Amino acid sequence: MTNPQDTPRVLVAGSANLDFVVRAPHIPAPGETVLGGAFQTFAGGKGANQAVACARAGGVATHMLLALGDDAFAAPIEASLQGAGLTLHTVRPSGVATGSAFICVDDQAENAITVAPGANACLTAAHLPPLPGFSHLLMQLEIPMEAVTAYALAAQAAGVPVALNAAPAQPLAPELLAAVDLLLVNEGELRTLAGLQGSIADCLAHLPCPLVVVTLGARGCVAREGSSFYVQTGFAVHAVDTTGAGDTFCGALVAALAQQTPMAQALRQASAAAALACTHMGAQTSVPTHHAVAAFLAQSPQPQDESSIEALRQYAGLS
């Protein structure tokens, strides 16, 4: 069992991609061709983004289990992760390309993403590093479900809390859900997992995990811990690119909880980090530093505006 007094150390097991990003006036409809603008490449992948957020925005020691191809796409990903101070546990399957993602960002900073998993699909149960000494295991669903389930069960057996960002949305086996301590979802993913079309509060109450957090974009987030509910309104920023904002939230939240930050404050820190991530282009390049998050929060009004809190509570079905 991890000693809560130890220096926190988070293990992220997940995807790493090279993102190909193009700006366009709007996201193309099926069959439509849109003349785009600026084109850039960035290191990405939900797992890698969340690992960078854990280390940079959350300020905790972070390791990552990932798979990369033996190709030119791997180099910028490794450089980004190492630049964030991560300790890497890299699997290199032969004859497989590094994962990639094709992203269109429109003038409203919204995005549409298509992912080619590549080497990410090669992670297996045998690749998990020893778990003693880690305070949390954080995962997503851009690697094989068999690996995610095996890692979660291994962490449960080792007494390491499991955080799962259930994205992309898909049904989860009961044995996996039973091993998850913290479930992180957006509103669509929440309804997919709950199998309900009721209120957010109803869906949260329907899931068996001890702690469930649902992100609601600019509105903020809502969490259920046991029978207690928390709401955190969003921070107003000038959004440039929302790519990676949800990943930043996940990594920053797990880092805060690994440091035993009280839930309300952890949600506030993660929401601030996610808001700041929207103010810059790219996924990992937009992740703010721990210092930047603290400075942003110091300048933000305290406490939250009561009318905004009540509006969010009503939206979630808590009032």
For the chain, list the domains and their CATH numbers.
Answer: 9-16+44-98+120-316 (3.40.1190.20)
Residue 1: per-residue pLDDT: 40
pLDDT in tens, the chain (319 residues): 444 446 899 999 999 999 999 999 999 999 999 999 999 999 999 999 999 999 999 999 999 999 999 999 999 999 999 999 999 999 999 999 999 989 998 998 888 989 899 999 999 999 999 999 999 999 999 999 999 999 999 999 999 999 999 999 999 999 999 999 999 999 999 999 999 888 999 999 999 999 999 999 999 999 999 999 999 999 989 998 888 899 999 999 999 999 999 999 999 999 999 999 999 988 899 999 999 999 999 998 765 788 999 999 999 999 8
Residue 134: per-residue pLDDT: 98
The 8 Å CB, 24+ separation contacts for 311-317 are 312/216, 312/219, 312/220, 312/222, 312/231, 312/233, 313/231, 315/200, 315/216, 315/219, 316/199, 316/200, 316/201, 316/216, 316/222, 316/229, 316/231, 317/198, 317/199, 317/200, 317/201, 317/202
Cis link prior to 132 (omega < 30° from 0)?
A: no
User: Is 241 one of the annotated active-site residues of the chain?
Assistant: no
**Which residue is catalytic, options 70, 241, 247, 305?**
247
